[in-house]
């Protein structure tokens, strides 16, 4: 039986191509990715000569194409987090001191530069319409993301960090060229860190234009007074230690990650 395959999408990014292929396969489609081997063996050379073509059977073309149209930022971000083992379930104490039944270990994503770059490209696309000159990322998670977003958009980059318990710019940066900025952070839980950076920008005479996030754990519940662009929005319960439902049940508590936050 002759099975006709048709191309429904083309990619130059190997990680993104394989990610979309996996999502289609999980949805039940038979998928072929042309030039995948060439791109994996010679990524720099092949990227200039070939496009990776994502193909499905002719009779599934329309259904698969419709599926791709619905692969929004949230779907891709969620897929990457799951693929990299970054979504954790249990009983966690966050850097804010709050307790939660879910934790996002973004370091697992940062270990894979291609996965991180795919997410940064989507963040950059969301922020490209805003008028700004600099991308700012707080230490530590925001630095990786902000740097790559700045590189993609051709903007300047600076980062800030806590020093003696207060958010400040890293010494040595020339802030005379920084007038309008977007803030990039990894995960939003309580908004404390973002508010610290916004206060720093205000004190420094820098206009905050927008905020870019990988994940908004509050599902849009916090208003910072400027646009917030999150790839993935999800409502995750937070408890004070005194009222934590999991503490009442005696579920063992873990404190993942680290932070300079007092």
The pLDDT, as a whole number, for residue 45 is 44
The pairing of beta strand 156-163 with beta strand 5-11: unpaired
As a whole number, mean pLDDT of residues 69-77 equals: 81
Lowest-confidence region among 3-7, 37-41, 94-98, 107-111: 37-41
Write the pLDDT tens digit of every residue in 175-214: 999 999 999 999 998 899 999 999 999 999 999 999 999 9
Where are the domains positioned within the chain?
Answer: 5-70, 76-248
My answer on whether omega of the bond before 119 falls inside 30° of 0, hence cis, is no
| Chain center to CA of 184 | 9
Q: Pinpoint the alpha helices (H) of the chain.
A: 14-26, 36-41, 43-49, 61-69, 73-83, 106-110, 113-127, 141-153, 192-203, 245-248
Average pLDDT score, the chain: 88
Does CATH number 3.40.605.10 belong to domain 76-248?
Answer: no
First and final C-alpha spacing in the chain = 67
pLDDT higher than 50, residue 260:
no
Q: Which residues pair with 161 in a beta bridge?
A: 168
Question: CA 233, 116, 208: angle at the middle one, nearest 5?
Answer: 60
Residue 19 token pair: 């990610």
pLDDT higher than 90, residue 230:
yes
Residue 118 token pair: 């795919």
The pLDDT, as a whole number, for residue 210 is 98
Instruction: Report which of 131, 4, 111 is spatially closest to residue 58, judged by C-alpha positions.
Output: 4
pTM for the structure as a whole: 0.76
pLDDT higher than 90, residue 215:
yes
Reported as a pLDDT band with limits 50, 70 and 90, residue 47 is very low
């Amino acid at each position: 039986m002759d099975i006709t395959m048709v191309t429904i999408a083309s990619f130059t990014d190997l990680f993104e191509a394989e990610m979309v292929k996996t999502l289609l396969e999980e949805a039940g489609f038979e998928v072929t990715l042309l030039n995948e081997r060439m791109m994996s063996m010679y990524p720099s050379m092949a990227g200039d000569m070939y496009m990776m073509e994502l193909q499905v059977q002719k009779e599934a073309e329309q259904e698969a194409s419709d599926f791709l149209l619905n692969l929004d930022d949230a779907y891709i971000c969620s897929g990457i987090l799951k693929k990299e083992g970054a979504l954790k379930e249990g009983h966690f104490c966050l850097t804010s001191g709050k307790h939660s039944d879910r934790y996002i270990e973004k370091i697992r994503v940062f270990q894979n530069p291609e996965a991180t770059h795919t997410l940064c490209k989507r963040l950059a696309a969301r922020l490209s319409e805003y008028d700004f000159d600099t991308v700012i990322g707080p230490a530590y998670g925001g630095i990786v993301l902000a740097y790559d977003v700045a590189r993609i958009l051709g903007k300047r980059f600076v980062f800030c960090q806590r020093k003696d318990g207060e958010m400040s710019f890293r010494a040595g940066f020339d802030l005379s060229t920084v007038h309008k900025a977007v803030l990039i952070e990894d995960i939003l839980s309580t908004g404390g860190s973002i508010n610290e950076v916004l206060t720093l920008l205000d004190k420094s005479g820098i206009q905050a234009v927008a905020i870019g996030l990988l994940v908004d754990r509050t599902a849009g519940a916090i208003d910072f007074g400027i646009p917030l662009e999150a790839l993935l929005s999800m409502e995750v319960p937070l408890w004070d230690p005194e009222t934590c439902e999991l503490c009442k049940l005696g579920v063992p508590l873990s404190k993942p990650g680290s932070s300079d936050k007092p």
